[in-house]
Amino acid sequence: MTTTTHAGAAPTWRRVLAQTDFEARAILRNGEQLLVTIIVPVLVLIGLTQVDVLDIDTDGMSAIDFFTPGVLALAVMTSSFTSQAIASAFDRRNGVLRLLSTTPLGRGGLLIGKIAGVLVVGTVQVLVIGLTAVLLGWRPDALGVLLAIVAMLLGAAAFTSLALLVAGTLRAEAVLAVANLALLLLALGGGVIVPADRLPGPLEHLALLLPSGALGEAMRQAFQHGSLPAWSVVVLVGWTAALGWGAARLFRWH
Amino acid sequence: MPDSPALEISGLVKRYGGRAVVDGLDLVARPGEVTAVLGPNGAGKTTTIECCEGLRQADEGTVRVLGRDPLVDAAELRPRVGVMLQDGGLPTGIRAQDMLAHVARMYADPRDLGELTERLGLGSFGRTTVRRLSGGQRQRLALAAAIVGRPELVFLDEPSAGMDPQSRHAVWDLVRELRDEGVAVVLTTHLMDEAEDLADHVAVIDQGRVIAQGSVRDLVSDGDDHTLRLDASPGLDLGAALGDGLAVTEPSPGSYVVVGAVGPTTVAALTAWLAERDVLATRLTVGRRTLEDVFLDLTGRQLR
């Protein structure tokens, strides 16, 4: 994207800010999107910590310390993948992407606005889920929070790339199905909420190669051990590069 | 350079899967003029416009928008070119007034939203979400979004589709106003009256090429030719009655169209011929050809 502001166009930062605001509002105003990005993760957190739904060894930790990092990872996946994929797919089908790309915003500004919109929604998610967890007795330390922010940014990059890849290549109805199904499968068996080493058989190794498992592990290590696993960083950066390359090459605007 | 064209297309070719949808198209649109691109469905109108908007890449030929390349110079052109897509492209979950305000934020000096809202009658549904708008309301909102940035050139892809007569006239008035302000307006349509009422320049396209162009007057007048229409009993040999120099067709049984140098003697000869055979003409009109006649002559009458 060019950084020069051409005559007649608003300055680049104002266009991108307007689009960020537009994207974030579109998600936070939409009932279904709010359900999947905020309400479901909060309910999962309450369910896992207040009701014994999963009979799992928490390594001597309290349930809230054990599960909150995974629920935050799940929240990142809902906003950067499920919600973004569905919104972009329908915007693409309805010509919204094409129309906005003909305004001074352009394709570059649209993309940056979308990514920034995801980050705004992610911030709201983390605040709501984090505060709920604190109310339930969670006490994260500062280093953990800092490392977790890095992990969440890496995770958001990988899952936004995946969202744009499916949104730009599949029919909108197919994206709706794929995005929800993938979220459910990854949440259950992808090493997000249930740590990869507790998954049965080959799933344990597979989950660590998936962006979901890498993000889940990174979040747990950050909060529980104050470190960021190198393997997770490599996996997330690798997925971002591969999926981003695929999205850039295969995305169809029509 | 006041005379340089706002849009110049030469030899444009665009193929989808090997099939040329646009096949060597040439078109020029000038500032302060409404250029109507007229053609049947599937003629290549929308594809041509999308190549000009930077939404599609031409396979061959050149497109110059305000003297620039629509793909290479996209960033420079976007603030200067307004676009109304055929399928609207409006986000559905947002209120109409918020949509327009959002697009306005992309420009340094957008039009006054209150005035534009008033002009296109958007006020009555400003607080309604786009999803709940009627087709005509959406079209008016899309038009407002296309011109909110004070463009020098606007592309309107079937602007009147789905509009009631009131909306249509509001849109036409606005298009004339844009033209009078010096804006180059390029619109696609298959509505003859729209082209006839609005356009300074009409390009008829079919199968991806311009098959005729000029002012409406140029296109409809063919020297002193007139068209005579007659309704009577079917199967009459009017050709024998009228002699050479006139083309007689019977597009549907009992409806005749006579084209050529129709004069007072033609009408007298025809009615005398009918009287001899005791045939009553239930309708007889003489007039100039309409744009629709020209269009159907050029593109054929078969359904496609």
- Measured CA to CA, the distance from residue B168 to residue B160 in angstroms comes to 6
Q: pLDDT tens for residues B20-53? A: 999 999 999 999 999 999 988 888 999 999 999 9
- Measured CA to CA, the distance from residue B38 to residue B45 in angstroms comes to 8
What single letter denotes the amino acid at residue B211? I
CB pairs under 8 A between A and B: 96
Q: Would an 8 Å CB–CB cutoff place B75 in contact with chain A?
A: yes
Among candidates A22, A90, A96 on the partner chain, residue whose Cβ is nearest the Cβ of B89: A96
A10 and B105 in contact by Cβ < 8 A? Answer: yes
Query: Quick one: DSSP state of residue B132?
Result: G
Question: What local confidence, expressed as pLDDT, does residue B289 receive?
Answer: 74
Question: What local confidence, expressed as pLDDT, does residue A154 receive?
Answer: 96
Looking from the CA of A230 toward its CB, the CA atoms found within 13 Å total: 0
Q: For residue B65, what are the β-bridge partners? A: B7, B68
What single letter denotes the amino acid at residue B173? D
B106 and A10 in contact by Cβ < 8 A? Answer: yes
Among candidates B89, B93, B149 on the partner chain, residue whose Cβ is nearest the Cβ of A95: B89
pLDDT at B299 over 80: no
> pLDDT-based confidence at B303, cuts 50/70/90?
low
* Mean pLDDT value of segment B152-175: 89
Torsion of CA A100, A242, A122, A134, to 10 degrees: 180
Residues from chain A that touch B56, judged by Cβ atoms under 8 A, are: 254
Backbone angles phi, psi at B206, to 5 degrees: -150, 140
Residues from chain A that touch B75, judged by Cβ atoms under 8 A, are: 1-2, 4, 6, 104, 106
CA distance readout (Å), B262 to B132, B230, B279 = 53, 13, 20
Interface predicted TM-score (ipTM) of this complex, two decimals: 0.86
Q: Where are the domains of chain B?
A: 7-220, 226-288
Among candidates B54, B76, B150 on the partner chain, residue whose Cβ is nearest the Cβ of A6: B76
Encode B64-95: b = buried (16+ Cβ within 10 Å), e = exposed: bbbeeebeebbbbbbbbbbbbbbbbbbbbbbb
How many C-beta atoms surround the C-beta of residue B63 within 10 A? 23
Q: For residue B256, what are the β-bridge partners? A: B230
* Mean pLDDT value of segment B185-213: 90
Tokens (6 digits) for B147 = 């011109």
Q: pLDDT tens for residues B95-114? A: 999 999 999 999 999 999 99
Residues from chain A that touch B154, judged by Cβ atoms under 8 A, are: none
Residues from chain A that touch B92, judged by Cβ atoms under 8 A, are: 90, 94
- Measured CA to CA, the distance from residue A151 to residue A218 in angstroms comes to 6
What single letter denotes the amino acid at residue A153? L
Q: Would an 8 Å CB–CB cutoff place B121 in contact with chain A?
A: no
A98 and B89 in contact by Cβ < 8 A? Answer: yes
Question: What local confidence, expressed as pLDDT, does residue B304 receive?
Answer: 60
Q: pLDDT tens for residues A80-128? A: 999 999 999 999 999 999 999 999 999 889 999 999 999 999 999 999 9
- In a mutagenesis test of the B interface, which of A33, A102, A107, A112 is the best target, namely the one with the most B β-carbons within 10 Å? A102
* Mean pLDDT value of segment B141-155: 95
Residues from chain A that touch B53, judged by Cβ atoms under 8 A, are: 102
Q: What percent of chain A has pLDDT over 90?
A: 76
Kindly indicate whether the domain formed by B7-220 is annotated with CATH number 2.40.50.140. no
Q: Would an 8 Å CB–CB cutoff place B94 in contact with chain A?
A: yes
pLDDT at A2 over 50: no
Q: What is the mean pLDDT of chain A?
A: 91
Coil, helix or strand for A3?
Answer: coil
Q: pLDDT tens for residues B206-260? A: 889 998 888 888 887 765 678 888 999 998 888 888 877 788 888 888 889 888 8
> pLDDT-based confidence at B84, cuts 50/70/90?
very high
E strand or H helix that includes residue B34: strand B34-38
Q: pLDDT tens for residues A13-64? A: 999 999 999 999 999 888 888 998 999 999 999 998 888 766 777 777 888 9
Residue with tokens 């976007």: B78
Q: Are B265 and B250 in contact (CB under 8 A)?
A: no
